[in-house]
Amino acid sequence: MKSKSPKKYSQQYKTMAVNMHREQGYTKTEVARRLDLTRGMIYRWERELYPEEFQNNSTNHGQARKPSAELEEENRRLREENRKLQEERAILKKAAAFFANEQN
């Protein structure tokens, strides 16, 4: 049995595929599915096209990592926001129940 030789893709095709993810908002999985590729190919092509974003593991999928102090502050802020939203939700539930009983 003869093994298949790997397909060769043009630089233009690779750029188009990566830009579908980066500029048009498709996930890498969606791009791969639409173009009959593997998700790993999209990751590899993106690393080839934008090597500066992937050097020294200093990025996470193209976005710079935040320092630990920033993450802790963001976590604290999000927890506080979550607590307030839960309180508001509880108040709205009680108000809805009150007005539902008033109409009956």
Domain positions in the chain are 8-65, 66-104
**Overall fold of domain 8-65:** Arc Repressor Mutant, subunit A (1.10.10)
DSSP H helices, the chain, are 11-22, 28-35, 39-49, 68-103
Residue with tokens 């500029």: 23
Q: How far apart are the first and last CA of the chain?
A: 78
Tell me the pLDDT of the chain (104 aa) as tens digits: 556 667 889 999 999 999 999 889 889 999 999 999 999 999 999 999 988 888 765 445 545 566 788 888 889 999 999 999 999 999 999 999 999 988 87
Is this model's pTM higher than 0.75 or not?
no
Interatomic CA distance for residues 69 and 36, integer angstroms: 42
